[in-house]
């Protein structure tokens, strides 16, 4: 028996050695033997190329011959006009809903057709996700461009090697469970390809919700991770999506629809123009049509998309799922499962921390949420996601307010290593001691969600976290403090500094030459640093621009007086006639046309 066992052991040994030899040549140059684990980016919503296909599986092309993206919808103006024009005209002439709202629903079904899911939560449209099932080193130039455009990690690739960088592309409107499973398998693939037994993951925005599912459904994956670097992660969805699923939409209030809603989303004069035009319909007809279209989006499109359910905050889910999924048991089974993952998000992240996985979080704050849903101002935000979602339950004041002079740091997290830490932001807006990871969460003041990747300090921080062990927490170096701010120095780097340096200073007065040199020095110091305060970039830019203007290198910026005609007309209508359509009040159409003509001719 002993002999048998030793034979077996010997055999096992030989076999193991054989496998080691056989696998010794991995795709990564280091063969898994280096200090930097490969990193996998799990991007945000719409940050993967998903192409629309025709029924034969060929790419759909636009008039210029370019492939058509499925995100967020495939908009074919011709087909929209053909569906909506006649009902819109009849509705206009009769001032009654003569099929307009039905036509709008048809348009909704049409533009979202490719993103529709069935009652099992599976996609029914024809599309192709552009996936990169290999490291960036093996990507084509075109593919590298797509990836670096979404997240410019070239410096990381330089340090760690492009064979240590992977990009997990997925369909933002796909099936949540399937995509989580794909990510789990992708991680196993990266381990096998590189020879590393651990990887880093970088869940960005919607990627944070995928990570929630990953840790809940595949807890064994925690053994595969060295670091998790979250960037603006939607760990508890976004209140915008919660408001969408509970139909708590701001424009259902007609007063707001005609005065305020559009202004928050676009240029005021454009918004006011749409408001004036919208008044060619009675307000009841218009709001009925909008409500029906919204119902159609929520009930027929959004309620079947489990990836979108992944962005519904846990506080909204019970009400939303009861209302929308009562007759869709399979989708509800899947979203219930995800709801658990969301409820367990903090607990699972704590398990990672306890296991020794280094978890970092980079978030933005103090940017008002897009005003789509009525919850927009319930919490601080980065424009798209509320702060307590990205910052793991953190307590903060809403945008424009502070915690108050008497506020005392609450220290509710078990993960602060030192009770003497000051985790309150310099602007007294955020109490970082109340988030799950006070010592490992980096906050960027006034930084908007969508421009996060253009903040070079954020990209530099992510690079240092992933490729080195130099930054262990928010106290490691003043270069990467807990509280930092918005920036995007591209104009300084590409335009203003080169322009200023090209000036022949010998031709200037001593005073101007000194100011120019000082402004350049300040600008370069800003560009080369990674820590700043809110508004600093503007100060630096303005100083440089001012001296360039003074010495005649730059034209002074002439602020063109913008037209305010539609703003005046829209506000006049609102003040005098509330939300009425212009045909509802006798003689009003003539007055409005008169005002517009006068305004256009005699401005």
Residue numbers at the binding site for Zn ion (CB under 5 A): 30, 34, 416, 421, 438-439
Element (H, E) at 547: helix 536-550
298: DSSP letter: I
Rounded to a whole number of angstroms, the minimum distance from the CB of residue 438 to Zn ion is: 4
Would you say 35 or 406 has its CB closer to Zn ion? 35
Would you say 392 or 416 has its CB closer to Zn ion? 416
Residue 240 CA to residue 155 CA, distance in Å, equals 34
Would you say 30 or 517 has its CB closer to Zn ion? 30
Would you say 198 or 247 has its CB closer to Zn ion? 198
CB 586 within 8 A of CB 563: no
Q: How far is CA 242 from CA 135, 246, 372, 428, in A?
A: 36, 6, 11, 28
Would you say 135 or 238 has its CB closer to Zn ion? 135
Residue 322 CA to residue 529 CA, distance in Å, equals 51
Residue 341 CA to residue 326 CA, distance in Å, equals 21
Q: Which residue has the tokens 């019970």?
A: 318
220: DSSP letter: G
Would you say 54 or 469 has its CB closer to Zn ion? 469
Torsion of CA 230, 232, 237, 239, to 10 degrees: 160
Would you say 171 or 413 has its CB closer to Zn ion? 413
User: What's the distance, CA 124 to chain centroid?
Assistant: 25
Rounded to a whole number of angstroms, the minimum distance from the CB of residue 318 to Zn ion is: 34
Would you say 191 or 543 has its CB closer to Zn ion? 191
Rounded to a whole number of angstroms, the minimum distance from the CB of residue 364 to Zn ion is: 20
Rounded to a whole number of angstroms, the minimum distance from the CB of residue 11 to Zn ion is: 31
**Crossing angle, helix 329-343 and helix 317-324, to 10 degrees?**
180
Rounded to a whole number of angstroms, the minimum distance from the CB of residue 360 to Zn ion is: 14
Would you say 421 or 486 has its CB closer to Zn ion? 421
Residue 199 CA to residue 469 CA, distance in Å, equals 14
Would you say 213 or 438 has its CB closer to Zn ion? 438
Q: What's the sign of the alpha-carbon dihedral 268, 271, 277, 281? A: negative
Instruction: Tell me the CB-side half-sphere exposure of residue 542, using CA atoms within 13 A.
Output: 5
Give the number of other CB atoms < 10 A from CB of residue 334. 20
Would you say 136 or 569 has its CB closer to Zn ion? 136
Rounded to a whole number of angstroms, the minimum distance from the CB of residue 329 to Zn ion is: 45
Residue 368 CA to residue 386 CA, distance in Å, equals 9
Q: Is the backbone peptide bond immediately before 72 cis, with ω within 30 degrees of 0?
A: yes
Rounded to a whole number of angstroms, the minimum distance from the CB of residue 365 to Zn ion is: 18
Rounded to a whole number of angstroms, the minimum distance from the CB of residue 412 to Zn ion is: 12
Residue 516 CA to residue 196 CA, distance in Å, equals 51
CB 505 within 8 A of CB 514: no
Query: Could you tell me the strand order of the sheet in which 165-167 lies?
Result: 165-167, 39-42, 199-203, 225-231, 358-365, 441-445, 483-485
Rounded to a whole number of angstroms, the minimum distance from the CB of residue 288 to Zn ion is: 54
Rounded to a whole number of angstroms, the minimum distance from the CB of residue 436 to Zn ion is: 12
Element (H, E) at 201: strand 199-203
Rounded to a whole number of angstroms, the minimum distance from the CB of residue 339 to Zn ion is: 31
Residue 211 CA to residue 189 CA, distance in Å, equals 17
């Amino acid at each position: 028996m002993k002999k048998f066992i030793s034979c077996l052991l010997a055999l096992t040994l030989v076999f193991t050695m054989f496998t080691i030899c056989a696998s010794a040549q991995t795709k990564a140059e280091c063969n898994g033997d280096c200090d930097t684990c490969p990193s996998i980016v799990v991007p945000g919503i719409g940050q993967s190329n998903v192409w629309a296909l025709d029924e034969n599986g060929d790419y759909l092309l636009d008039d210029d011959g370019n492939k058509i993206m499925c995100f967020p919808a495939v908009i074919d103006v011709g087909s929209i006009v053909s569906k909506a024009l006649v009902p819109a005209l009849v509705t206009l002439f009769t001032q009654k809903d003569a099929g307009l709202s039905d036509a709008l629903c048809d348009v909704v079904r049409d533009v979202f057709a490719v993103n529709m899911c069935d009652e099992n939560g599976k996609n029914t449209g024809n599309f192709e996700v552009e996936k990169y099932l290999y490291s960036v080193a093996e990507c084509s130039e075109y593919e590298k461009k797509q990836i670096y455009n979404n997240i410019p990690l070239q410096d990381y690739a330089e340090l760690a090697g492009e064979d240590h960088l992977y990009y997990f592309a997925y369909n933002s409107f796909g099936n949540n469970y399937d995509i989580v499973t794909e990510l789990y398998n992708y991680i196993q693939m990266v381990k096998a390809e590189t020879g590393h037994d651990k990887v880093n993951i970088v869940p960005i925005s919607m990627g944070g919700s995928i990570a929630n599912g990953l840790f809940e459904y595949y807890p064994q994956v925690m053994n595969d991770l060295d670091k998790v670097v979250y960037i603006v992660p939607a760990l508890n969805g976004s209140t915008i999506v919660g408001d969408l699923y509970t139909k708590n939409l701001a424009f259902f209030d007609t007063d707001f629809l005609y005065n305020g809603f559009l202004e928050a989303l676009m240029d005021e004069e454009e918004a006011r123009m749409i408001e004036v035009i919208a008044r060619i319909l009675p307000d009841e007809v218009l709001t009925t049509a909008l409500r029906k279209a919204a119902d159609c989006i929520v009930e027929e499109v959004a309620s079947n998309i489990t990836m979108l359910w992944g962005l519904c905050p846990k506080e909204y889910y019970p009400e939303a799922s009861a209302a929308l999924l009562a007759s869709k048991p399979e989708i509800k089974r899947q979203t219930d499962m995800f709801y658990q993952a969301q409820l367990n998000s903090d607990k699972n992240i704590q398990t990672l921390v306890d296991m020794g996985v280094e978890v970092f979080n980079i978030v933005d704050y103090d940017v008002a949420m897009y005003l789509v849903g009525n919850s927009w101002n319930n919490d601080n935000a980065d424009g798209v996601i509320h702060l307590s979602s990205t910052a793991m339950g953190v307590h903060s004041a809403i945008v424009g307010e502070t915690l108050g002079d008497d506020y005392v740091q609450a220290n509710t997290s078990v993960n602060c290593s030192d009770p003497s830490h000051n985790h309150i932001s310099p602007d007294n807006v955020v109490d970082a001691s109340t988030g799950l990871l006070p010592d490992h969460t980096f906050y960027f003041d006034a930084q908007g969600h969508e421009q996060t990747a253009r903040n070079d300090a954020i990209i530099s921080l992510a690079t240092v976290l992933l490729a080195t062990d130099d930054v262990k927490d928010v106290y490691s170096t003043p270069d990467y403090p807990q509280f930092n701010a918005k920036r995007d120095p591209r104009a300084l780097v590409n335009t203003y500094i080169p322009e200023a340096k090209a000036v022949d200073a010998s031709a200037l007065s001593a005073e101007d030459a000194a100011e120019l040199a000082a402004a350049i020095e300040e600008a370069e110091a800003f560009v080369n640093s990674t820590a700043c305060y809110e508004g600093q970039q503007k100060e630096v830019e303005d100083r440089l621009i001012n001296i360039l203007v003074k010495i005649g290198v730059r034209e002074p910026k002439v602020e063109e007086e913008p037209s305010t005609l539609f703003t005046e007309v829209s506000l006049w209508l609102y003040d005098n006639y509330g939300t009425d359509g212009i045909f509802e009040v006798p003689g009003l159409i003539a007055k409005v046309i008169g005002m517009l003509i006068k305004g256009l001719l005699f401005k």
